[in-house]
């Protein structure tokens, strides 16, 4: 297979390096402009791109109608729309503690969804 070179922006840390990735199919041969983590990111991006996801679910009995949530680890990028559609259907009740698991093993990925903040019961 022919070798290809392309620019890939690494999102692993805030520096956001533009990596020059040379690959043969799905195998990374060389990465310029990045650190070791950037090289790992380039390989991962080729075979199984993932992103951290932050979103919200509906909340009953709290100060706010929505609860912010996040994925425990980066989530498979092609399945993010499916995840967001599922989260739109979810409603949970207060009280909620910070980092509480809201959904376990979401969409059979082995990834959990956690609460980004605490929400107390609001009475009256
Ligand atoms: S290549 Fe390294 S320094 Fe650059 S954005 Fe990625 S992790 Fe950060």
60 and 100 inside one domain: yes
Please give the pLDDT value at position 124. Answer: 65
Return the CATH number at 69. Answer: 3.10.530.10
Mean pLDDT of the region 70-80: 97
Question: How many percent of the chain have pLDDT more than 70?
Answer: 98
Q: Could you identify the residue written with the tokens 């376990």?
A: 104
pLDDT digits (tens, 9 = 90+) for 10-58: 999 999 999 999 999 888 999 999 999 999 999 999 899 999 999 999 9
Question: Distance, CA 41 to ligand 1 centroid (Å)?
Answer: 9
Q: Which of 8, 31, 41, 42 is the pocket-test mutation for ligand 1 (most atoms within 8 Å of CB)?
A: 41
Whether 104 shows a pLDDT value over 70: the answer reads: yes
| DSSP state, residue 107 | G
Q: Is 18 within a domain?
A: yes
* CB of 44 sitting under 6 A from ligand 1: no
pTM: 0.83
* CB of 31 sitting under 6 A from ligand 1: no
Q: How many structural domains does the chain have?
A: 2
Please give the pLDDT value at position 32. Answer: 93
* CB of 21 sitting under 6 A from ligand 1: no
Question: Distance, CA 38 to ligand 1 centroid (Å)?
Answer: 5
DSSP alpha helix (H) spans, the chain: 36-47, 80-89
* CB of 42 sitting under 6 A from ligand 1: no
- Residue 121, classed as helix, strand or coil, is coil
38 and 63 inside one domain: no
């Amino acid at each position: 297979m022919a070798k290809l070179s392309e620019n890939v922006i690494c999102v692993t840390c805030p520096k956001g390096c533009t990596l020059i990735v040379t690959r043969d199919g799905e195998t990374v041969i060389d990465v310029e402009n990045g650190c070791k983590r950037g090289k790992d990111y380039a390989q991962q991006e080729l075979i199984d791109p993932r992103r951290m996801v932050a979103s919200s679910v509906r909340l009953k009995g709290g100060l706010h109608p929505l609860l912010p949530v996040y994925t425990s680890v980066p989530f498979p990028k092609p399945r993010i729309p499916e995840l967001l559609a599922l989260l739109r259907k979810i409603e949970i009740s207060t009280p909620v503690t910070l980092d509480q698991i809201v959904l376990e093993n979401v969409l059979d990925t082995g990834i959990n969804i956690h609460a980004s903040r605490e929400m107390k019961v609001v009475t009256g």
